[in-house]
Amino acid sequence: MEDQLPAQYRRRFEAELSSREVVWRVLVDAWFNRYLVGIDAVLDLGCGWGAFINQVDVSSRYGIDLNPEAERHLDPAVKLISQPASEPWPLDDGSLDLVFTSNFLEHLGSRDEIAAALAESFRCLRPDGRMVCLGPDIRYAGGAYWDFFDHVIPLTERSLVEALEITGFRLEQSIGRFLPYTMSRKRSPRPFLIRCYLRFPPAWRLMGKQFLVVVSKPATTE
């Protein structure tokens, strides 16, 4: 599967690259910036071509991804860690303020790999640091979840919360229906429509098929 990453990315995202940049610029500005206030170090787990991390304005930015084409799409200030997410990260304990991941965990090869990636996130986060997880919820996406060849692990917000809590995280927020299954098209969406959607939670219950889960690392462990 690793050898297929460049072809998969080009097939899915190359025609939508400018659209994805517009979408993520708005998503970060209108929603995800709330998790970036007063922090210095952010890691994008499964960063891909940098849709999220390229929009982030902090002093230290990291991305983990195995796609050999990731580096040429990332902002030069983003440090790429090119390795499996389930292997030990070359970062010190407590060195990150935020771990963000979007549409990534379902691509890992097993639940053990997901558990290992979550454990590394927990280790590298400072006390009170956050992990923000966005991804397709099989409960709401249904059969469309399997339309991607490399979707391996079925996840819901509940199963992910359970895995995170077992790891030691404390739940802050869990939304089963947040974003639509996809926000990108070949034609760039209008930013004001994205902002209106984010400000109107009843629309989430109609269109949302991706979960949003936010957890934090407790300041003290019992």
- The string of pLDDT tens digits covering residues 43-65 is 999 999 999 999 999 999 999 99
Beta sheet of 60-64, edge-to-edge order? 78-81, 60-64, 41-45, 96-102, 125-136, 210-216, 170-179
pLDDT in tens, 141-181: 999 999 888 999 999 999 999 999 999 999 999 999 999 98
The verdict on pTM exceeding 0.85 is yes
Cα 215 to Cα 129: distance, rounded to the nearest angstrom: 9
| % of the chain surpassing 70 pLDDT | 88
On whether residue 221 sits in a domain, the answer given is no
Q: Is residue 222 part of a domain?
A: no
82 within a domain of the structure (yes/no): yes
Q: Which residue has the tokens 């998503």?
A: 27
Q: What is the mean pLDDT of residues 97-107?
A: 97
Work out the mean pLDDT of the chain and round it to a whole number: 91
Please indicate, yes or no, if residue 178 is contained in any of the structural domains.
yes
What pLDDT does residue 3 have?
55
- Sequence-distant (6+) residues with CB within 8 A of 23 are 51, 183, 184, 188, 189, 194
DSSP SS3 for 69: coil
Q: Is the pLDDT score of 10 beyond 60? A: no
Contact 117, 45 (CB under 8 A): yes
- Say if 189 falls within a structural domain: yes
Rounded Cα–Cα distance for residues 19 and 26 (Å): 11
Average pLDDT over residues 171-194: 84
Domain-located, residue 188: yes
Q: What letter does residue 13 receive in the DSSP assignment? A: H
Domain total in the chain:
1
Most confident of 14-18, 67-71, 188-192: 67-71
Please indicate, yes or no, if residue 159 is contained in any of the structural domains.
yes
Q: For residue 22, give the CATH number of its domain.
A: 3.40.50.150
- pLDDT at residue 47, as a whole number: 96
Range of the domain at 208: 2-216
User: Would you say residue 120 lies in a domain?
Assistant: yes
Whether the predicted pLDDT of 9 surpasses 70: no
Instruction: State yes or no: pLDDT of 20 exceeds 90.
Output: no
For residue 47, how many other CB atoms are within 10 A of its CB? 27
Q: Does residue 8 have a pLDDT over 80?
A: no
